[in-house]
């Protein structure tokens, strides 16, 4: 049976909730391994200086209901400094071979600590050391200085990265804890646009919006989606 979410056109009557479509597109890109990092997305932040700044991150989970995605990063990085100044962010996924684009705008908040702990614990030792080793977005004197910094910090956890980055993990080494400055960011969607490539530039395009109201625990109460078909 063909998956209706993966049809070459959006249905005549627009779906009432775009998030399950977006989720299906992201899953399809991953299953088909259309690129080396099919879950990569561009995220744009705008800090106090009102200047937009874009970079790629990896979408590590997509929760269609109630409607947010998660990426992981260093909380001292430029992107997090900016999204703490201004939580409004924009995200774009694009898979050229599938002729699909997803645009999401919304509000970014840090993930609950226990969720970040769980994800960090699931990562391999090298990635865990990498999270401790790099002060992301801070100036760096040289590549050598970074290598030395990573090796020095790794040793504190009983990990020797001195030899060609082969990790030698000390026996009886306790689990590496998550750095307090590293974790997840949830992007709660207030606007979603789905775009499907058509012939002769007659693409299929629709945009949905809903209200987001922030709760004390950094979750959001969400309104119903309303969708509008747009000229391409």
Ligand X SMILES: Cc1cc2nc3c(=O)[nH]c(=O)nc-3n(C[C@H](O)[C@H](O)[C@H](O)COP(=O)(O)O)c2cc1C
- Per CB under 6 A, residues contacting ligand X are 37, 40, 53, 55-58, 71-74, 77-79, 136-137
Which ranges of 71-224 would DSSP assign to H, the alpha helix? 78-85, 113-121, 125-133, 143-155
Please state the φ and ψ torsions of residue 58, each to the nearest 5 degrees: -105, 130
Rounded to a whole number of angstroms, the minimum distance from the CB of residue 187 to ligand X is: 13
222, 211 contact by CB (below 8 A): yes
With respect to ligand X, which residue has the nearer C-beta, 25 or 182? 182
Rounded to a whole number of angstroms, the minimum distance from the CB of residue 162 to ligand X is: 25
Rounded to a whole number of angstroms, the minimum distance from the CB of residue 41 to ligand X is: 9
Rounded to a whole number of angstroms, the minimum distance from the CB of residue 102 to ligand X is: 17
With respect to ligand X, which residue has the nearer C-beta, 137 or 219? 137
With respect to ligand X, which residue has the nearer C-beta, 72 or 208? 72
With respect to ligand X, which residue has the nearer C-beta, 76 or 203? 76
73, 89 contact by CB (below 8 A): no
Taking the CA atoms of 13, 209, 104 and 50 in sequence, report the sign of the dihedral they define: positive
Count of positions (residues) in the chain: 232
């Amino acid at each position: 049976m063909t998956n209706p979410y993966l049809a070459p056109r959006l249905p005549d009557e627009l779906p009432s909730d775009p998030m399950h479509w977006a989720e299906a597109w992201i899953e399809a890109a991953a299953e088909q391994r259309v690129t080396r990092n099919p879950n990569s997305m561009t995220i744009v932040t705008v800090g106090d200086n009102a200047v937009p700044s874009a970079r790629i991150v990896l979408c590590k989970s997509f929760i269609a209901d109630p409607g947010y995605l998660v990426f992981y990063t260093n909380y001292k990085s430029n992107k997090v400094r900016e999204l703490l100044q201004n939580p409004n962010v924009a995200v774009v996924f694009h898979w050229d071979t599938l002729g699909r684009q997803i645009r999401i705008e919304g509000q970014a908040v840090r993930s609950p600590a226990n969720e970040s702990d769980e994800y960090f614990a699931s990562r391999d030792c090298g990635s865990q050391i990498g999270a401790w080793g790099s002060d992301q977005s801070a100036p760096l004197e040289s590549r050598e200085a970074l290598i030395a910094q990573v090796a020095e910090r790794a040793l504190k956890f009983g990990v020797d990265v001195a030899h060609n980055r082969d990790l030698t993990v000390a026996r009886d080494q306790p689990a590496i804890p998550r750095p307090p400055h590293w974790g997840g960011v949830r992007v709660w969607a207030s606007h979603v646009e789905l775009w499907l490539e058509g012939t002769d530039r007659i693409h299929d395009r629709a945009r949905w919006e809903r209200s987001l109201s922030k709760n004390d625990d950094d979750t959001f109460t969400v309104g119903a989606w309303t969708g509008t078909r747009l000229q391409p």
